[in-house]
Amino acid sequence: MQITEFVKDIGRGHDGARSLDAARARDLFSAVFAGQVGEFELGCILIALRMKGESVDELQGALAALDAHLLRIPVDAQRPAVAIPSYNGARRLPNLVPLLASLLARAGAQVVVHGVREDPKRVTTYQLMHALGLPVLGETNPIGEPAAAFAAHQPLFVPIDLLSPPLARLLALRWRAGVRNIGHTLAKLIDPCKPGSLRLTSFTHPEFDRLQHALLQRLHAHALVMRGTEGEVVADPRRQWAVDELREGQARRLVEPDTSPLAEVPALPPAHDIDATCAWIREALAGQRAVPPNIARQVQVIMDSAQSVV
């Protein structure tokens, strides 16, 4: 494969670059995920795509190529299944993804959380779920097996290095290049479950909101799209963002935004470190403190959407 032919299209700068169609993107990323693209050439591709901006066709083709390199977590089709991508973690605010995942599991969903294990600048969901004693795929305390986690009404964390080693390698290049790449977009859009799940996706920038809507509608995926809290899908306890449901190629608004000041700001963990966040989550799950209303509402919205297709 002549990688230069792809770079000539996507690497001509903001005004001259052309996006790949879905078929060519699939060919390119099939080679990338199979380890058939050299390090220098891969760097050229990733930087060119970042400068140009990924198109819907390019994401569709890359996702199709990734499918052959993705572990599928078996779920019971008779029970709702929810997939939560978690690749951002906590930078300033406490990471409450483990709370959301645990509440959904208690409500009857089979919850698969996938993401990175560590981030040198943030507190990851893996670190929190591990500290909380929640199941992690491949670990033995507690048993990190899907059936055991779902039977115990607990969420299962699946590290991306187990879910898709080639994608994990792409994500790890961030720390060498200094910027994110298309791998971070793909990670938030994959469905790790077999036969399928309700995908939760989030955005920070409006252009990614439009991109997700267009791609998920084209794929006829079942997903909820919402603004992220520091990039994570858990609802912001301090304000209500919009939530859109994507299903069978159609989009509808489930929750209208309301950014007016809260009459009472919910109590949150005093810090975003592992110990403070875990202690607060344990108390919330034990009923010793109130779950923030926006998160409680998010749980209900997700369960309603997930149960409607079972």
pLDDT tens digits, 165-189? 999 999 999 999 999 999 999 999 9
Which numeric CATH code is attached to 73-307?
3.40.1030.10
CB 41 within 8 A of CB 272: no
Q: What is the pLDDT of residues 91-100, one digit of tens each?
A: 899 999 999 9
pLDDT score, position 137: 97
Amino acid at 55: S
Return d(Cα 20, Cα 9) in angstroms, integer.
7
DSSP 183-211: HHHHHTT---EES--EEEEEESSHHHHHH
Q: Using the predicted structure, report yes or no on whether residue 13 has a pLDDT greater than 90.
A: no
Amino acid at 175: W
Q: What is the pLDDT of residues 141-167, one digit of tens each?
A: 787 899 999 999 999 999 999 999 999
The CATH superfamily of 3-69 is Transferase, Pyrimidine Nucleoside Phosphorylase; Chain C (1.20.970.10)
Q: Using the predicted structure, report yes or no on whether residue 26 has a pLDDT greater than 90.
A: yes
pLDDT score, position 264: 79
pLDDT score, position 212: 96
CB 246 within 8 A of CB 213: yes
At residue 91, the 3 state secondary structure works out as: coil
> Domain residue spans in the chain?
3-69, 73-307
Q: Which residues pair with 203 in a beta bridge?
A: 227
Residue from 175, 301, 167 nearest 241 by CA: 301
Return d(Cα 234, Cα 86) in angstroms, integer.
10
Contacts of 92 (CB under 8 A, 6+ apart): 230, 272
The pTM assigned to this predicted structure is 0.96
pLDDT score, position 94: 96
- Is the pLDDT higher at 214 or at 238? 214
Return d(Cα 232, Cα 203) in angstroms, integer.
8
pLDDT score, position 282: 98
Q: What percent of the chain has pLDDT over 70?
A: 99
The first and second tokens of residue 102, run together, are 């645990």
- Is the pLDDT higher at 27 or at 265? 27
Runs of H (alpha helix) within the chain: 3-10, 13-16, 22-33, 39-52, 56-66, 97-106, 125-131, 146-151, 160-163, 165-172, 174-177, 182-187, 206-218, 274-285, 293-307
pLDDT score, position 263: 74
Mean pLDDT for 21-48 is 96
At residue 179, the 3 state secondary structure works out as: coil
Q: What is the pLDDT of residues 262-292, one digit of tens each?
A: 777 788 999 999 999 999 999 999 999 999 9
